[in-house]
Structure formats: C-alpha cells, structure tokens
Structure 1
Amino acid sequence: MLVYEFKLKGKAQQYRLIDEAIRTALFIRNKCIRYWLDNSKVGKYDLSAYCKVLASEFSFAKKLNSMARQASADRAWAAISRFYDHCKQKIVGKKGFPKFKKRGHSVECKTTGWKLSVDRKHLTLTDGFLIGQLKLVGTYDLHFYQLSDIKRIRLVRRADGYYAQFCIAYNREIKTEPTKRMIGLDVGLTHFYTDSDGNKVDNPRFIRRAETALKRLQRRVSKKFRRGQKQSNNYIKAKQKLARFHLKVSRQRKDWACKLAQCVIQYNDLIAYEDLQVRNMVRNHKLAKSISDAAWYQFRVWLEYFGKVYGKITVAVPPQYTSANCSSCGREVKKTLSTRTHKCSCGLVLCRDTNAAINILIKALSTVGHTGTRAQDALNAWEELSLYLKSAMTLDKDSR
C-alpha cells in the first residue's frame, strides 16, 4: 500500500466545510463507541449497520458519504479490537480501553464520494457537504495508477493547511544485488546509533536545537491568553504559529529517520536492532524529552518498511544484557550509565556501544539460524548469508 499526499488549495468556505465533515466523522466514531458500550456482543458489521441509523436520526450525519460513515465505524472497531487483543495477550498494565475523542483531524472516503479530474490535478468531493473542487499541489503523478487502485482518500487538517492522502493498492519491490554485509545497531542518546563495525551516527537533536525558538513562541501565546474571556485574533495567530513550528520540527525528524533507514537498508543484507519498548522508557521524566526527540521507534518502523521493499532481513532482538555481556567471552561486566568503555577480564577493551552492537548481531544470527556465539563467528557469518542469497537469486532466475 502506497500513500501519496497532496496539499489542498481552495477557498475559506471549502475549508470550513471540510472541518464540518471532520467533526461529523468524529461524532459517528464516538456514537459507535457508545453503542458498543450500551449493547453486548456488538461486532464490526453491527457498527456498520448502526451508521445507517445515525444517518436517519441526524440530518448533518446524512450529509457525510455512506462509505465515509463506514470508515468512521471502522476506526471505532479498530480501537475496540485492539482492546480485545491486549486482553487476550494479557498485556501488563493498561489495555487501551476505547475512549471518546474530543478532537478529530481527518475524515476518510473509500471508493465513492470523490472524483478526480482528467489531468489528475483536481479533486472534487461529491458528498452532502458540497465541498466542491479542490486543487492538488504535490510532486507525485497519479497517472501511473488506475482509479480502481485508489482504495481510500483521507482529508487531513494540519497546522499549515489541509491535505489529501491517496491510499493506493500497490506492492512496492526493489531488487538489488547482495552487499555481503550484516550489522547490529545499538541506539543511544549520545550517538543516535553505533553499529557492530564501530561506526557512529550523531544524534541530530531537532527539538533541542529549536528549543529557544519554541520557548519564545510559547511565551507569546501565554501573554495573549485571557482566562475566562473570548480569545483575541492575536492569540489565535500566535497559537497557529507555534503549532506550525512544532509541525516543522516533527517533519525534520521524520525525514531524517526515513533517509537514514533507507541508507542502512541499501548497504546491508541483514540488520539487527533492539526490540525496545519506547513507550515504557519515556516514563523516566529525566530522559523522556531526549528519547522522544531521538525517534528510535520511527527509525525502526522505516527499517522494517524498507527491509520489505528491498528484500533485506531485519531482526529485532531482546535488549537484555546486550550492554553488560562481553562480546568476546560472554561474561557479564556490570557498568553504570556513565561508564562508556567496556573492559573485560579476557582483555577486550571496546566502546560500550560497539560491544552492545556486536552482541545484538550475535543474537540476531542465532535467531535466523546461525550457531555462532562469539564475535568472531558473527563477523565471519556474512559469508554463509551471501552464499544463501546468491543461491536464492540463481533459483529465482532459473524459475523464470
């Protein structure tokens, strides 16, 4: 599935109608949650049928396209099914009980309620809100895909405007020659990651670099806030400027993580990394901002995505004892967070992060079938992997 995003250009009245459609979609989603709470044994198809009842009861809900109403019901069922799955898996702590949402930022249309122009540069929304024609601004070319391949359109409101996302059914695959390389990655705060070869990538620290400007914008918002009164236009403008700056920082972080993950995937055949529970790690209030700014989870998501696109192997291993154990002899060497050098009685002196990256690679190799338990075995195991990839490519060519 590909997602192409375009910015929407229209009139102020059209933007207000999009906001009304977003509020209506949120209303239907919350109503479906309430229907599930008040009735037992409610399933996905029951919520879809309940959308028709809502359209008959509320005139503004009838304006929303029928498939857009079903998409809102699907969102409600996604929250419910996630809660059921967490209960079955007996996850410790909160299970994610479905909640009512106060604010919505998007509305989805499936295969009806919209129409593309012949030149694929304009989008016309044909539901009851009568939004009309909007101009698509972007660099993607939709002529490469059939209209039947576009399975869903999502209208998104952000701080800097309105966007249209096209969800296209397409299996993206890029074939490359094997690089005969494999690495383990140990992420951190001093350096974003250190690989098993000793290479390090600096942490960009986007939020830290923008902190001075963010504080200045936040002070402006606070000064113009009037408690218990209607807010002025200056307050609204200051708030929007602050939101746009936050959006800029988040886009910088996402773009950097995406490009770095693609570079790592292209130059290696096997990538091992830690299976970190970032949601639990940010509970440490002293490190929460730095961990969130590092975007470890976002980097992992892009690694797994590009691994599927390029046909590379990505392995997530448990992080326990990767920093403490020696990568040469396997002994446990206890360290504090301030100890940055690994010194073992066997004579190995190595950077703490490099030692952890080698241990991560060793665990990954044992997961995918290798029997090496030492650093030397890990560094030599790429020969076995390259032979396997060559044989697989030969069989693939012969089958064609």
Structure 2
Amino acid sequence: MLVIEAKLKGTQSQYSKLDEAIRTGQFIRNICLRHWEDNKGVTRNDLQKLCSVLAKNQETPWTKKLNSQARQAHADRAWSAIQRFYENCRLGKPGKKGYPKYQKFSRSVEYKNSGWKLSADRKKITFTDGFEVGTMKLWSSRNLIWYSEKQISRVRVIRRADGYYAQFLIAWDRLQEHEFQGKMTGIDLGLKEFYTDSDGNTVENPRYLRKSEGRLKRLQRRVSKKHIKGKKQSNRYQKARKALAKQHLKVSRQREEKARKDALALVKSNDLIVYEDLKIQNMVKNNRLAKSISDASWYKFTQWLQYFAKVHGVIVIAVPPHNTTVDCSCCGAKVKKTLSTRTHRCSKCGIILDRDHNAAKNILAKGFKLLSEYLNSTVGHTESGVKSSFIAGRN
C-alpha cells in the first residue's frame, strides 16, 4: 500500500463543510460503539446495517449527507477498535487491554470508492456527497497522474494545525532492487546518540523537542494569558492556540523525517539489521526520562525500518534487550554498570569499549544466533535469494 498526501486548498466555507463531515463521521463511530456496548453478540455486519438505519432515522437526518461508503468506513473504525480489544483479551495481554473509547476530537473523515472525483489532470478533487464541499485544489510534491482511480482504495481527509490534507491510499506493491554484499549490523538505540551500530558508528540524536522548548513555553504562556474560563474565547486566543499547535506539528514532522531518512540509509547499506525490541510504553513511565525517550522517536524509526526492509528485501530482526549492556561482547562476562557509566571495562579480558558499542555487538550476536536457528530449522527447504546472498556474503 502506498500513501500519497496532498494539501487541500479551498475557501473557508469549504473548510467548514469538511469540519461538518468529520463531526458526522465521529458521531457514526461513537453510535456504533454504543450499539456494541448495549447489545450482546454484535458483529461487523450489524454495525454496517446500523449505518443505513441512522440515515433513514428522522432523529439523525444529517447522517445521510455523508456518503454511504464513508458511513461504513467509520463503522469499520469502530469494529477495528472492538476487534483489537477482543484480541488483546484473548492473548492475555498484561495491563490495559485497550477498551474502545468514544472520540471527542476526531480530525479525519474517510471515503472509499465513492463520494469523491479527481480531475483529469489529478490536480483537483471534487467531493460529491451531501455536504456539497465542491472542488478543491490539490498541492503535492507527488503526481497522482500515474495512478488510476481504480487503484485508489480510500481517500482520507485530515485536519491539521496548518490546514486540511487528503491522503490517497493506493494499491501498489513497492519493491526496490538491493545489492546484497553480506553486510550486517546491530544497533543500540540510545539517548546520548540516537543509535550506535556494531562497528562503532553513531548517529546524532537531534533532540527536536528540547531545542523548541523555549518557543513552545512562550507560545503556551500566550495561550494561558488569553484564555478566559467559563466564557467564549476571543479571536486572539484562537490565534495563539493555532500558533502553539503549528509549533508542535513542526516538531512532529521533524522527528518523522529524521526517522525515515535514518531508516532508509541503514537499510540501503546493510543486508541484515538487528535492533533491540524495547518496550517503549513501559520505559516512558519513568518520569525523569519520559520526555527524552519520546523526543528520540524510537518507535517511528523501527516502524520505518521494518517498512523499508520489506521494500528492499532485507532481513530485520528484533531481539530482546536483556543483558545486552551488562554482557561483555568479547568474553561474555557480566560487567555491572549504572546508567551514568558510559564505558565498558571488562576485568576478565581487559577490553575497553563505549557502552553502546558493546551493547550493539551483543545485539548483533543475538540476532545472528536467532537467524542461524531459523535457517537450521528449515533445512531441506529452498531458501530465498535474500538468505542465500546473506550467507554468501558472510562466508
């Protein structure tokens, strides 16, 4: 699946109608969730039928304005949340199971194959449902002219701090040629450096949130000063609130771009990548490190790493992080360290390494062990070209 995003340019009246469509989609999702709570044995098909009932109901006539397939798409959103909750309960996931919640501030509405129409040059989109949004311009660095409307499975309209965007979900199998040379690396994610690989190379941690904290605090003070409790907020308050939201959006985009570029560079230069499978949700419970961990954006990086690995046909393995910092990568002896100890000194073999470099070597060894066990268990079966190339490079 390929996602192409374009900014929507239109009038204030058109933006208001898009807001109405977003609120209607939120209402349908919440009604579907309430229907599931009030009735036993509700299925996905029951939620789909409920959408047509809402459109015909005299108490909710505004729901008919939203395209029928868009109504079903929001019923699917509710069912996805329900299904995820059931799956977590079935697997016995520790802690919270992710019980579905009602949405209060939804920012998107989703259309399937109808309710919208692209112009011949793919530079305009027309929304044809009951909200009568009309035609809006599309601003994007990617050209949609290469894809037919049949390939576009969904169109998602998203409201952000700096405007409205349309996301086109295109059925496309993206594959890139990769020259396999038998290179492999293990990476240790950290806060001092974004990551350190098993060869001792490091990538800088940019700390985008920390660098923007001064401006964010000033903008937050302006919002607080202009807020009047219990009354309708002024235009100056709304202006200050939007400025704060735009700054947060800028930080988010910087993290996303950094994670994407680093992941692509790593995949292009290696045939086997091993990283530690960190439980980030548990780690951010540490009040002293939560902000720094969130600012590092490890999760986005690993998500992009897995995506580009599929595109390039590269092997990516996630290994448990237990004892990767404590074990000596040379002799295997355990060397206890505090969080402030940045150098690994083994009293048994005498090796001296950077703490993260030592951990990266242990991570690579763990990943290579898991891969060897997998290959040994598949003896007698034809191995893929990726594995064969990796083994050839290793030898």
Note whether the superposition's TM-score is higher than 0.5: yes
Q: Secondary structure at the match of 1:339?
A: coil
Return the letter of the residue paired with 1:38.
D
Aligned to 2:322: 320
For the 8 Å contact 1:180–1:386, the answer to whether it is kept is no
For the 8 Å contact 1:179–1:267, the answer to whether it is kept is no
Among 269, 281, 306, which residue is 2:308 paired with? 306
For the 8 Å contact 2:112–2:155, the answer to whether it is kept is yes
Aligned to 1:187: 189
Deviation at 1:387, TM superposition (A): 8.3
Distance 1:294 1:70, change over 3 A: same
* 1:41 matches 2:44: no
Aligned to 1:232: 234
* 1:389 matches 2:376: no
Among 73, 82, 98, which residue is 1:96 paired with? 98
Distance 1:262 1:30, change over 3 A: same
Q: How far apart, in 2, do the equivalents of 1:321 and 1:47 lie?
A: 48
* 1:346 matches 2:358: no
Residues matched between the structures, number: 380
Aligned to 1:287: 289
Q: How far apart, in 1, do the equivalents of 2:368 and 2:122 lie?
A: 48
Q: How far apart, in 2, do the equivalents of 1:334 and 1:136 lie?
A: 57
Q: Over aligned residue pairs, what C-alpha RMSD do you find?
A: 1.6
Q: Deviations over 1:315-348 (max 9, x none)?
A: 0000111101111121221111011111111222
Unmatched tracts of structure 1, length 5 or more: 372-384, 394-400
For the 8 Å contact 1:2–1:168, the answer to whether it is kept is yes
Q: How far apart, in 2, do the equivalents of 1:386 and 1:130 lie?
A: 51
Deviation at 1:386, TM superposition (A): 8.6
For the 8 Å contact 1:82–1:96, the answer to whether it is kept is yes
Q: How far apart, in 2, do the equivalents of 1:139 and 1:350 lie?
A: 45
Aligned to 1:382: none
Q: How far apart, in 2, do the equivalents of 1:261 and 1:391 lie?
A: 23
Question: Following superposition of structure 1 onto structure 2, how do residues 6-45 of structure 1 map, counting pairs within 5 Å?
Answer: 6-45=6-45
Unmatched tracts of structure 2, length 5 or more: 375-384
Deviation at 1:206, TM superposition (A): 0.1
Q: Secondary structure at the match of 2:372?
A: coil
Return the letter of the residue paired with 2:358.
N
For the 8 Å contact 2:182–2:392, the answer to whether it is kept is no
Aligned to 1:146: 148
Aligned to 1:397: none
Q: How far apart, in 2, do the equivalents of 1:109 and 1:363 lie?
A: 45
Q: How far apart, in 2, do the equivalents of 1:91 and 1:131 lie?
A: 44
TM-score normalised to the size of structure 2? 0.94
Q: How far apart, in 2, do the equivalents of 1:363 and 1:46 lie?
A: 47
Deviation at 1:217, TM superposition (A): 0.6
Among 367, 370, 382, which residue is 1:367 paired with? 370
For the 8 Å contact 2:313–2:386, the answer to whether it is kept is no
Q: How far apart, in 2, do the equivalents of 1:27 and 1:386 lie?
A: 48
Aligned to 2:5: 5
For the 8 Å contact 1:68–1:110, the answer to whether it is kept is yes
Using the TM superposition, name which of 4-13 and 341-350 deviates more. Answer: 341-350
Aligned to 2:180: 178
Give % identity. 56
Deviation at 1:282, TM superposition (A): 0.5
Q: Secondary structure at the match of 1:338?
A: coil
Q: Deviations over 1:99-144 (max 9, x none)?
A: 1111110000000111011111100000011111010011111121
Q: Deviations over 1:75-120 (max 9, x none)?
A: 0011000001100110111000011111110000000111011111
Aligned to 1:396: none
Deviation at 1:179, TM superposition (A): 3.1
For the 8 Å contact 1:269–1:313, the answer to whether it is kept is yes
Aligned to 1:269: 271
Q: How far apart, in 1, do the equivalents of 2:392 and 2:169 lie?
A: 32
For the 8 Å contact 1:207–1:293, the answer to whether it is kept is yes
Q: How far apart, in 2, do the equivalents of 1:287 and 1:50 lie?
A: 46
Q: How far apart, in 2, do the equivalents of 1:51 and 1:313 lie?
A: 43
Deviation at 1:390, TM superposition (A): 7.3
Among 166, 170, 176, which residue is 2:168 paired with? 166
Among 238, 242, 245, which residue is 1:243 paired with? 245
Q: Deviations over 1:269-324 (max 9, x none)?
A: 00100101111110111111000000000000000000001111100000111101
Q: How far apart, in 2, do the equivalents of 1:278 and 1:192 lie?
A: 15
Deviation at 1:359, TM superposition (A): 0.5
Among 126, 131, 134, which residue is 2:133 paired with? 131
Deviation at 1:391, TM superposition (A): 8.7
Q: How far apart, in 2, do the equivalents of 1:54 and 1:225 lie?
A: 38
Aligned to 2:382: none
Among 221, 224, 241, which residue is 2:223 paired with? 221
Structure 1 residue ranges (4+ consecutive) displaced by more than 3 angstroms after TM superposition? 390-393
Q: How far apart, in 2, do the equivalents of 1:117 and 1:387 lie?
A: 45
